[in-house]
Structure 1
Amino acid sequence: MRLPRPDRPEADVVQALLRQPALRWDAVRQAATPWVQAVREHPAPFWAMESLLKEYPLSRPEGLALMRLAEALLRVPDVETAMALAADQLGRARFDAGGGSAHPLLAGLSARVLELGRRLLPAEGSAPGLLQRLGAQTVVAAAVRALQLLGRQFVLGRHIDEALHEAQAQRAGQPALRFSFDMLGEGARTGRDAERYLAAYHHAIERIAREQPADAAPEQADGISIKLSALHPRYEPAQRQRLFAELLPRLWTLVERAARANMNLTIDAEESERLELSLDLFEALAARVAQAWPQWQGLGLAVQAYQTRSLEVVQEVARLAAAYRLRLMVRLVKGAYWDDEIKRAQELGLAGYPVYTRKQHTDLAYLACARVLLDHAPQVFPQFATHNAGTIAAVLQMARERGAAFEMQRLHGMGEGIYREVLKREPVALRVYAPVGEHRDLLAYLVRRLLENGANSSFVHQLADARVPLDALLVSPFNLQGDPGLPLPAALYGPARPNSASVDLACLADREPLYATARDTAVPTVPEADAAAVDAAMQRLHAGFARWDATPVAGRGAALRRAAEALEARRAEFCGLLVREARKVMADAVAEVREAVDFLRYYAAEAEQRFAPLALPGPTGESNELRLRGRGVFVCISPWNFPLAIFTGQVAAALVAGNSVAAKPAEQTPAVAQRMVALLHGCGVPEDALQLLHGPGETVGAALVRDARCAGVAFTGSTEVAKAIQRSLADKDGPIVPLIAETGGINAMLVDSTALPEQVVDAVIQSAFRSAGQRCSALRLLCLHVHIADAVLRMLAGAMQELVVGDPLQRSTDVGPVIDAQAHAALARHVARLDAQARLVARTPLPAGLAGDHLAPVAYEVRDIAEVREEVFGPVLHVVRWGSGELATPEAVIDRVNALGYGLTLGVQTRIEGRALQVAQRARVGNVYVNRNMIGAVVGVQPFGGEGLSGTGPKAGGPHYLLRFASEQTLTINTAAAGGNAALLAGGR
């Protein structure tokens, strides 16, 4: 189905929302005021979310420490690490009692326990005595128990039987109370995970149905919520065809069982990039229901009002209900992934955000969606999930005007006070959204709710704060005032440098033109240069250097900016060439074009700032000025793995610094380079300032480096070739010229037992296997703590089975071929050695009959870090365990990694902040990434480059890079030489 673009201008969408009929907000405020007053007079229990946020707000260190302990402590299997985590977090805050708590006894008790823990626990890295250790373990045990009790406030039961028992207990005082049970957990990463969730859903439906009254309609009975990402490990738009073949049948088995039991089943909301996929699957289910169970009225969908397309989504559901003659349920929520959506839009450089950037806009959209749902009753049964008193009162007003049936919903453990007061005055049907699962599995969920409701702007947070006046708490969303919202993704880096624009591959209108262009792209033949061509080019560049260097830096920067604009305009053309010549999947091609654009704009801005003459202090009667200027002819030798981004980055830096450039691309990818050089020429870079010289490194590259007119070399590639260039430069006569080298690395990731396994596996899959492992920054060595190694490796093995190896022109492909037959042969030999010497962890399946240089991603466990002696440039991962013996500590692991001699990237997965900082300090690497993947460094954000065997520095895309391409000149003028210092004489008497 088609929805509007997710990145439409927010202001346009809001203006359309404001055209809806206004509510009588005075009546809304009048209805909601007594509810709020009563809640403030009779606050929620201590462990309720409202009270917890009041006691430990997330704006203070105590709130953040509690959140982080809740997120990680229960899943840590070993006492030593649990102690270190507790010490790290409790040591950052004070939990002293006081501050006007409404529950002084409980608050004081919790504060004393937490403060005692802060004092008793050893600092990370210290060696406590026996008494301290006993005290620490006691406090950790108490903290674990406290977090388990906390979890019970927000999780109805550890399993469905316990949840049903608790639901019955809660219904004792409210017989009409209904529940929607949510079998929680992280999304599936493996096929086994998906099967486990599917079995849990089936069991839950069976048990819920057994407890239902025989004559209860779906809206009157308990139901279940289904998370699609839990039912398939690849629930993403790129796998659409596979999902309809594999996920849809699984879903139908659940829907059919729910229909047979006449209970309600709701498809939960996911991130915005999955929205159209979710709607398409929902429509497929609705079509089947219309055929097999037309009388059933329990199929439902959750809609997030904070998405800018929410109004169109509820209109689409109403259309489906009419088209298939069904009564569908719709749970309208505010939304649960706001910060993730914002970050994704910024990282991708989208034109706008798929979510509203102001709370008032979301509240406004919620009311617009509510109006549409109520207008389409009874084809739609609206379910309004909110804890906002103003929103509740507005919904009740609209529902009364229409006489429509509906229900309200709240989250278990939240909003009890508000709904207690609402139900005293209004005969409203109420359903509780009830999480079910083990506490250690629900920590991410709990923290998400803490973050959502702990924000200063949230109603739940402000409700508990008596200092917030009622007029501010119950302000009309129609009266838009104040903050205009977040800057657009394009403005992420400020006015000096626009963020590179991108396309959203989840959007058909963006995606299809790129693939169509790639399918039609032919790779042109680029002629190789001979010795005469090299000499002629160097002569021309040497002659053109002075004229280009004399061009003002603003002029050189302007040429780069024009090139950035032109490259963005020709995105599809360059993406097609990258897919065809460099064998990249489309997502990597799009990212590479953006990186090249970023290099052009960043170096233009940096040059204009840093190449301006710098006045220096000195004695009277004298002026001193430091100037930067080009060195001469710079030789730029780029690799095949980033034939556009690294090529452009090297060339742009050398050019904007005032050098002329001899650009030598990798033998495998000259067409991309040729196209980029032509673009630069067309944007104002003279041909005698930039020449392309294609050919083998042994002849063309070597000749360029040896040439007496070579004033510097920028090289990215293997350590072996970098050393050969270094020797060649040292051996030739003439000036000593700089070598800027970025080479490979044996990049490691250290994972301790506080890390979230799902997050680790996601980071490992991306870091080790994206781009077929052909990135300088790619993960080569995974270091897993012994207490979680088996579980993480099982999950990793399952996730690797779900990867798709294939043709880069196919959107479903995750891993394309390696660059050429020679690379494939070398990788195959290494894999054969590992087959004989190491333990196979997992190998991704290769489709039958797949032709070309494809290598299945593979992971092996080795005995020792020292066994990984050289960089393996492909989708091959080595795994080692730490936490005992010679690798007992993180420090020991980092020392062994340092001993390998490389120093490019390092990943750290831990919730112990102090440990992450200590590891970063100890590691001799250029880039450290904590709790994320290790690839995709962004220009000006994560300057990239290593040390040791991994390069010379300075970092590409960083503030010191351009200086290496320039020579410095100090100009001193004795201004008093001609008749004395007039300025001094005039002002000194």
Structure 2
Amino acid sequence: MSQHLPSPYRPEAGIVSAALAALEGALDWPAAAAAARPWVDAVRRHPPPFWAMESLLKEYPIASAEGLALMRLAEALLRVPDAETAIALTADQLGRADFDGAPDSPLARLSQAAIAMSKKMLPDGGQEQGLLSRLGARTVVAATLRAVQLLGRQFVLGQSIGEALGEAADARRRQPNLRHSYDMLGEGARTEADALHYLESYRDAIAAIAAGGDAQRSPADNDGISIKLSALHPRYEDAQRARVLAELVPRVWALCQQAARANINLTIDAEEVDRLELSLDVFEALALQVAREQPQWQGFGLALQSYQSRAQELVAHVAQLGRRLGLRFMCRLVKGAYWDAEIKRAQEMGLPQYPVFTHKHHTDISYLACARALLDAGDVIFAQFATHNAGTIAAIVQMAGGTGGFELQRLHGMGEGIYREVLKDPSIRCRVYAPVGQHRELLAYLVRRLLENGANSSFVHQLADESVGMQQLLVSPLWLEREAALPLPPQLYGASRRNSEGVDLTVESMRAPLLAAYETTRVPTVPLADVASVGDAVARALAAGRHWSRAPVERRAAILRKAADAMQTQLPQLCALLVKEAFKTWGDAVSEVREAIDFLRYYADEAQRLMQPLALAGPTGESNELRLTARGAWVCISPWNFPLAIFTGQVAAALATGNSVLAKPADQTPAIAAEAVRLLHAAGVPADALQLLHGPGETVGAALVAQPGIAGVVFTGSTQVARIIHRALAAKDGPIVPLIAETGGINAMLVDSTALPEQVADAVVQSAFRSAGQRCSALRLLCLHEGIADTVTGMLAGAVRELVIGDPALLATDVGPVIDREAWEGIARQVERLQRTATDRHPGLEPGSMPLHAGVPMPDQARHDGRFFIPPQIFEVASIAEVQQEIFGPVLHVVRWSGDPAAVIDQINALGYGLTLGIQTRIDSRAQALAARAHVGNVYVNRNIIGAVVGVQPFGGEGLSGTGPKAGGPYYLQRFCAEQTLTINTTAAGGNVALLA
């Protein structure tokens, strides 16, 4: 389906200029500021009650240790099921803050009653020793828990829809021009069971709202509901567009019909940038049904985020849709809720621009421009303006010109002071966005609100800060910053190294070149190297290396950068080749090409940094210099699971340091290696300085390793093969040859009971099953605290059931095939063993996936178009010690633990591997202590454990997982070099001239 809107990745300044132009003649900001000034003054003279968000943020600013501790406790404490972890969490967070010095106010007294007392009474660091016994500690934690519950209660209208409706009725008696939009709290669905649960919750809420409403009134005069599409489908993402439209639209349409019969407002809430086009597809499909079956209903609506770069086009698109279908929508304009996540995503993906504004006042400009467009489209849009900013409210009232054809909105528990003043004008209507749900469901919502409104640039924060003067508080936002406030993603690493450019596969214009390249790309046949000619290849490499090593390091670095630029240009073709030869999914293919580009640029920079003579201190009359020099000809043996990135990284490291290279790619993936070599040769690497020798490891690889004159071997692959290479090198006469080996690991993730199950499920599914589990860093062993094990394993099984297994060339595919029949047979044998010895937590398969049964299929069932598939497998084992070897595929072991998490780390260490470790906890001191205790190369806290980035997360392990140094790190190139010290007696020519002078 074609895109509705332009690309979100456009220069910020141009978009803001267009918004400013749209506001010309429509807004007199000085007049708006003058209208807002009395509201602000009244709020500051009569501040909001002590439980309001503004008061909380004034007392405990989010940037302070106290504010951060409070946010962490609010986010995690209510969900911790066991006392020991609750004690550790509370002690950890309160130990970082000083609540004793809080001002004398009702909120301070409330917080001090539990929080300050907790800090004093909790055992130090959560251990047994302390001022109170464990019983005392538990009592104080209970008091802290109660304080957090009281805090949460201020921002939830009710724990059930019935309770919320009662509270709303009381509020309306006090303020007749108030209406409510109820938001049923909860995370996005990870499983079909989650989605059906939220669907039932929405149905019940609409029925309850309808019972208390009046179908004869307009939706603007009735209470309404806000729904989150990601809560109603476990795969609400662009890649699953067909499935979403087939399965989600009927669910939402049933809710729409229910709302239409009651004549209440149903608003589809806004989500992340990458879901916007999908949201519009769903919205348009539903609008068509409204037009056909409920054309009189004017309560259907959509939330629009003004911080998105496409906000103005979005307003125009919705208005155009309304005119085309003869409908009038209710549109809520918000500033946006995922700004930090959108910034990080754009940086991680190497996108050309940010999809959101980087200056706060640019978002304000966009908001005002969108507000004007919504008001101008009053024939097809009833505008709803969600804001707590007094200046913005005054500007909207001014632009509306007293028409009254709009409403204002605020969040429950926030903005009460400003709206107390604004609503003194009886012509202005306000709708309260009212969260409904249990306290534990509030956590993610509350933390997001704390972050948004606790930021220094937030109007809510500044309103509570009396040191911010009236002029500063109501300063005009109508001015343009030409440059983004943050370095653009391509400049993330500074001027010296350009970030590789990625692809947002949800944007049609960005993915189209990849799909076009797939249609024309063919996998060429790479000739096998003759084992008898290996000696000649080494001789040529040695000769070429002497010339290559004498080339200035700046020239070698320039050649590598030129090759990187060529790879960037050829990204679609390289991705297509990865999909065809290595069975990569499109997302994995893009990531791999970017990693190869990053290796070339990073090692070019590093070589220039390291290979400069280093002057050393010494006595007068003498100069001392340390130099790094090339070792000679290196053998680079790379794997099939990252046939471009690891191949390029090994080769680039050797070449950058002046060595020549004999590259032996994996048997299964020679074509992508040959293409990398072609690009390097075209960039200027001499043909004999980089030679590709394709063939079996047992013959070609073994012959290369055995050759005399080889200066070093760099290998990525299995521990078993690394041992064979190590023995072969040790058995040779002549110089001791260095081996750089990166091997696999039984990579583990430890999860305690403070972790958010939804985040854990996301991290585990990505870590264990992305790339069909065929990554060195893939998760093999999940260690779950017993208090949450059932919840998390159930969520995992449900989430994995939603994965699509199939052709990697299809955008919808999550799990492609394993590399070949040999790999399939090895994994199948291990799965059959686990089916006999472990508890099968296999999730089964989504009907739309490959037609495989729940177990491991027989070869004829597994083989499709020459490829072999294994569905994701989950097995629970009794102990960590049972997991003795890595299964290089989509197979996850789960074990439960209790007691001391340090003991779990000790058991993981005892396995002997040491590549990657994940830690999921909200106890900061615990994360630090466990990371320090672990004998692993890479530790990831509260995220997945795959996708190490060159120069950001240098990658490599210890023990059975490798020799080091870490690839993509500042110490890697040194291993490819010899060291030479040059000492010159400068007095030999007649005396110490420098000293005498």
Give the TM-score, by structure 1 length: 0.98
**Separation in 1 of the partners of 2:744 and 2:880?**
17
1:184-263 aligned within 5 A: 184-263=185-264
Paired position in structure 1 for 2:869: 854
**Separation in 2 of the partners of 1:320 and 1:531?**
68
Using a 3 Å threshold, how does the CA distance of structure 1 residues 483 and 549 change in structure 2: closer, same or farther? closer
**Separation in 2 of the partners of 1:98 and 1:583?**
59
- Per-residue deviation, residues 447-466 of structure 1 (Å, max 9, x unmatched): 00000000000000000001
1:51-62 aligned within 5 A: 51-62=55-66
Q: 1:138 offset after TM fit, Å? A: 1.4
Give 1:469's aligned amino acid: G
- Per-residue deviation, residues 569-622 of structure 1 (Å, max 9, x unmatched): 000110011000001000000000000000000000111011111111111111
1:260-659 aligned within 5 A: 260-400=261-401, 403=403, 405-425=405-425, 427-480=427-480, 484-659=484-659
Contact 1:378 1:405 in 2 (8 A): no
**Separation in 2 of the partners of 1:139 and 1:298?**
48
- Give secondary structure in 1 for the equivalent of 2:43: helix
Paired position in structure 2 for 1:746: 746
Q: Structure 1 stretches (4+) deviating beyond 6 angstroms? A: none
**Counterpart among 25, 37, 50 of residue 29 in structure 2:** 25
Q: 1:174 offset after TM fit, Å? A: 1.1
Q: 1:379 offset after TM fit, Å? A: 1.2
- Give secondary structure in 1 for the equivalent of 2:197: helix
Paired position in structure 2 for 1:36: 40
Give 1:921's aligned amino acid: A
Contact 1:802 1:844 in 2 (8 A): no
- Per-residue deviation, residues 492-542 of structure 1 (Å, max 9, x unmatched): 111111111011101011112212312332211111111232122111001
Paired position in structure 2 for 1:973: 984
1:135-150 aligned within 5 A: 135-150=136-151
Paired position in structure 2 for 1:939: 950
Paired position in structure 1 for 2:854: none
**Separation in 1 of the partners of 2:339 and 2:484?**
17
- Give secondary structure in 1 for the equivalent of 2:456: coil
**Separation in 2 of the partners of 1:954 and 1:512?**
39
Give 1:16's aligned amino acid: A
**Counterpart among 878, 902, 912 of residue 893 in structure 2:** 878
Q: 1:480 offset after TM fit, Å? A: 4.0
Aligned identity (percent) is 66
Q: 1:16 offset after TM fit, Å? A: 1.3
Q: 1:404 offset after TM fit, Å? A: 5.4
- Give secondary structure in 2 for the equivalent of 1:666: coil
Paired position in structure 1 for 2:119: 118
**Separation in 1 of the partners of 2:216 and 2:210?**
12
**Separation in 2 of the partners of 1:673 and 1:704?**
17
Paired position in structure 2 for 1:896: 907
**Separation in 2 of the partners of 1:540 and 1:609?**
29
Contact 1:743 1:951 in 2 (8 A): yes
Using a 3 Å threshold, how does the CA distance of structure 1 residues 235 and 214 change in structure 2: closer, same or farther? closer
Paired position in structure 2 for 1:771: 771
Q: 1:426 offset after TM fit, Å? A: 5.5
- Give secondary structure in 2 for the equivalent of 1:513: helix
Residue 863 of structure 1 pairs with residue 864 of structure 2: no
**Separation in 2 of the partners of 1:105 and 1:719?**
63
Contact 1:374 1:404 in 2 (8 A): no
Using a 3 Å threshold, how does the CA distance of structure 1 residues 891 and 98 change in structure 2: closer, same or farther? closer
- Give secondary structure in 2 for the equivalent of 1:467: coil
Using a 3 Å threshold, how does the CA distance of structure 1 residues 105 and 49 change in structure 2: closer, same or farther? closer
Contact 2:650 2:714 in 1 (8 A): yes
Q: 1:111 offset after TM fit, Å? A: 2.7
Paired position in structure 2 for 1:46: 50
Contact 1:628 1:967 in 2 (8 A): yes
Unpaired stretches in structure 1, ≥5 consecutive residues: none
Give 1:637's aligned amino acid: I
Q: 1:214 offset after TM fit, Å? A: 3.8
Give 1:243's aligned amino acid: V
Paired position in structure 1 for 2:762: 762
**Counterpart among 61, 68, 71 of residue 75 in structure 2:** 71
Contact 2:110 2:147 in 1 (8 A): no
- Give secondary structure in 2 for the equivalent of 1:750: strand
Q: 1:42 offset after TM fit, Å? A: 0.7
- Give secondary structure in 2 for the equivalent of 1:895: helix
- Per-residue deviation, residues 280-335 of structure 1 (Å, max 9, x unmatched): 11011111100001111000000000001000001111001100000111000000
- Per-residue deviation, residues 106-138 of structure 1 (Å, max 9, x unmatched): 414423532221121123362236943122111
**Separation in 1 of the partners of 2:974 and 2:565?**
25
**Separation in 1 of the partners of 2:404 and 2:110?**
48
**Separation in 2 of the partners of 1:267 and 1:213?**
22
**Counterpart among 7, 11, 14 of residue 12 in structure 1:** 14
Unpaired stretches in structure 2, ≥5 consecutive residues: 852-860
Residue 922 of structure 1 pairs with residue 937 of structure 2: no
Paired position in structure 1 for 2:4: 2
Using a 3 Å threshold, how does the CA distance of structure 1 residues 482 and 245 change in structure 2: closer, same or farther? closer
Moved more, 325-334 or 470-479: 470-479
**Separation in 1 of the partners of 2:484 and 2:600?**
31
| RMSD across aligned positions (CA) | 1.2
Paired position in structure 2 for 1:172: 173
Give 2:945's aligned amino acid: M
**Separation in 2 of the partners of 1:557 and 1:157?**
63
**Separation in 2 of the partners of 1:730 and 1:130?**
59
Give 2:14's aligned amino acid: D
- Per-residue deviation, residues 899-920 of structure 1 (Å, max 9, x unmatched): 0000000000000001101100
- Give secondary structure in 1 for the equivalent of 2:182: strand
**Separation in 1 of the partners of 2:519 and 2:165?**
55
- Give secondary structure in 1 for the equivalent of 2:662: strand
Contact 1:378 1:404 in 2 (8 A): no
Contact 1:157 1:436 in 2 (8 A): yes
**Separation in 2 of the partners of 1:534 and 1:333?**
66
**Separation in 2 of the partners of 1:482 and 1:418?**
33
Paired position in structure 1 for 2:808: 808
Contact 1:528 1:693 in 2 (8 A): yes
Q: 1:2 offset after TM fit, Å? A: 2.4
1:955-974 aligned within 5 A: 955-974=966-985
Contact 2:92 2:126 in 1 (8 A): no
**Separation in 2 of the partners of 1:835 and 1:511?**
41
Contact 1:894 1:919 in 2 (8 A): yes
Contact 1:190 1:798 in 2 (8 A): yes
- Give secondary structure in 1 for the equivalent of 2:701: helix
**Separation in 1 of the partners of 2:282 and 2:107?**
48
Contact 1:662 1:693 in 2 (8 A): yes
- Per-residue deviation, residues 943-973 of structure 1 (Å, max 9, x unmatched): 0000000000000000000000000001111
**Separation in 2 of the partners of 1:16 and 1:616?**
58
Give 1:237's aligned amino acid: D
Contact 1:561 1:601 in 2 (8 A): yes
**Separation in 2 of the partners of 1:391 and 1:547?**
68
**Separation in 1 of the partners of 2:530 and 2:483?**
62
Contact 1:124 1:915 in 2 (8 A): no
- Per-residue deviation, residues 657-683 of structure 1 (Å, max 9, x unmatched): 110000000000000000000100000
